[in-house]
Amino acid sequence: MAAGRRVFDAHVHLQPWEHLRPEVRDAMVRGRDDADAIQAFQRDRAAFLAHLDREGIARAVLVNYVSPRVMGFPPEVNDWIAAYARGEPRLVAMGSVLPGTVEDAAAEVRRLHALGIRALKVHPAHQLLYPHDERLAPVYAEAERLGMPVTIHTGTSVFPGAKNRFADPIHADDVAVDHPRLTLILAHAGRPLWYDTAFFLARRHANVRLDLSGIPPAKLLEVLPRLGEVADKCLYGSDWPSPGVKSLRAHWQAFERLALPAQAIEGILWQNAAKVFG
């Protein structure tokens, strides 16, 4: 490991599990021995920051989104994450606006920005809409105006009720075209069905980035063999606490060992996310 390595994890799920639908909660905790610790972190920010220290994570984006029908998360999840991250520069609060759950989507973006939420999430498979749905247009327009990056989940989901037809990254192409000053991050780079599409979009659009979370580091160059061509547009993410990530430190250290130039590793682990999230 390089001395003084800084790691910016652009995809951590720190969410209020009390809102989870029972079947989703069962899927979350199945086979885990750290579920109690995860829930303790949800109640105690200092404990979570200490955990990040132990795992070598300097900064983290805390991904939250509204998904009442699939996951159980209500609009109030935005207020929860804004309060959790408030005043702590190491933590980037990510929320979302789901049309139909608020009266005025554009006004809700402005409210979240005022609360301190610094980025937005669109999760097509869990919010049950395409990313280029016209109802999201005011969300993208306000985020573009306010300089808020938007992460779009791309790739499949196995949670009960998720609908994967919404998750093909090609549907983000319209968003990139219609909002050229909006930074779009394609989470999971289309895993596992649409890697080529996600890579194409990152090469085509100046405003599109790839979030490499949810892909085992050892498999990364196998599924994205031309990753080096877009290394300056890629962000490291763990997707913790997904079942495949037992240790944050082990995960980013496995990424660090990839056969990529040192400059690319440094950019993906820190600099690219720092530019996007400030």
User: Which amino acid would we find at residue 222?
Assistant: E
SS3 26: helix
Does domain 8-277 sit in CATH 3.30.70.980?
Answer: no
SS3 233: helix
SS3 274: helix
For residue 173, the tally of other CB atoms under 10 A from its CB is: 18
pTM summary value: 0.97
Encoded tokens for 208: 């599109």
Q: Is the Cβ–Cβ distance between 5 and 55 less than 8 Å?
A: no
**How distant, in Å, are the alpha carbons of 156, 220, 238 from that of 259?**
27, 10, 19
**Rounded mean pLDDT of the chain?**
96
> What pLDDT, in 10s, does the model give residues 236-273?
999 999 888 989 999 999 999 999 999 999 999 999 99
SS3 171: helix
| Element spanning 115, H or E | helix 105-115
* pLDDT band (50, 70, 90) for residue 47: very high
- What's the CA gap between 192 and 228, in Å, rounded? 19
**How distant, in Å, are the alpha carbons of 9, 101, 149, 176, 244 from that of 183?**
17, 24, 5, 8, 28
* pLDDT band (50, 70, 90) for residue 89: very high
With a cut of 80, say whether residue 2 has pLDDT above it. Answer: no
With a cut of 60, say whether residue 230 has pLDDT above it. Answer: yes
Q: State CA 155 to chain mean position distance.
A: 12
> What pLDDT, in 10s, does the model give residues 180-202?
999 999 999 999 999 999 999 99
* pLDDT band (50, 70, 90) for residue 3: low
- Indicate the domain borders of the chain: 8-277
* pLDDT band (50, 70, 90) for residue 178: very high
SS3 158: coil
SS3 186: strand
* pLDDT band (50, 70, 90) for residue 1: very low
Encoded tokens for 130: 């395409």
Written in H, E and C, the secondary structure of 27-96 is HHHCCCCCHHHHHHHHHCHHHHHHHHHHHCCCEEEEECCCECCCCCECCCHHHHHHHHHCCCCCEEEEEC
State the average pLDDT over residues 152-164: 97
SS3 214: coil
